[in-house]
Amino acid sequence: MKKSSLLLSLTLITAAAAIPGTAKAFDVRVTHDVFIIDGKKGDVNVGTLHCFSDVDLVDVKFQGFDEEACQYVCKWVNNAYLPSSTNFTFDEIITEGFADCEENSNIAVHTIIQLADPALVGPIKGFDQYQQKRKVLAFQNGEDGEDGETNGLIVFEVNGYPQLKAIETEVSQKP
């Protein structure tokens, strides 16, 4: 399957899965545990995200449309015996009337999170189910609105090929 077909499929599937339900904006006041869903192994803990938000809105492309987003920069620390870390940057699409990134963390907002543009922020990496640092080609998550959990898909580059995985985050430490 070509990379462009895979990425288009990823975008459409995740967007459709993320639309139902009310969600809060990504809460930077808490630590998020990250899991890769790995078939029969189930949820594999691949570390934690410690994030902060850029209070300025950024211009992004979403489904081919020009939109605005809140940008988050995270320190992703893996779950290995000797931990490693990387920067992980993503954009949260804002909806009309909810342009305050700081305020959105405390109110219900329908939202989708996607990978920031590597051309603007530099290469983005994450950790796969083996705790290996990998280049991230695509990432899109939606929030469930109950407890800050996000669910979606991530595409890693492994030996020059895309590897599609289900990913979720859960709030692990509250303020």
List, for residues 8-51, the tens digit of each pLDDT value. Answer: 444 434 444 444 444 456 777 788 999 999 888 889 999 999 98
H helices present in the chain, as ranges: 3-18, 101-104, 118-121
Predicted confidence at residue 136, as pLDDT, reads: 97
Q: Is 119 helix (H, G, I), strand (E, B) or coil?
A: helix
The tokens 């975008």 sit on which residue? 11
Q: How many CB atoms lie within 10 A of CB 130?
A: 13
Predicted confidence at residue 110, as pLDDT, reads: 67
pLDDT at 155 over 80: yes
Query: Which range is least confidently modeled, 32-46, 81-95, 104-118?
Result: 104-118
Helix (H) or strand (E) holding 111: none
Q: How many domains does the chain have?
A: 1
Closest by CA position to 55, among listed 109, 107, 85, 94: 94
pTM to 2 decimals? 0.81
Predicted confidence at residue 6, as pLDDT, reads: 46
* Domain around 143: 3-173
Predicted confidence at residue 143, as pLDDT, reads: 73
Q: Give the span between the Cα atoms of 76 and 132, in whole angstroms.
A: 12
Closest by CA position to 113, among listed 75, 89, 154, 141: 141
Q: Give the span between the Cα atoms of 172 and 151, in whole angstroms.
A: 15
Predicted confidence at residue 109, as pLDDT, reads: 65
Closest by CA position to 87, among listed 98, 76, 97: 76
Q: Give the span between the Cα atoms of 101 and 55, in whole angstroms.
A: 6
* Buried-exposed string 12-51: b where 16+ CB fall within 10 A, e elsewhere: eebbebbeeeebbbbbbebbbbbbbeeeeeeebbbbbbbb
Predicted confidence at residue 101, as pLDDT, reads: 79
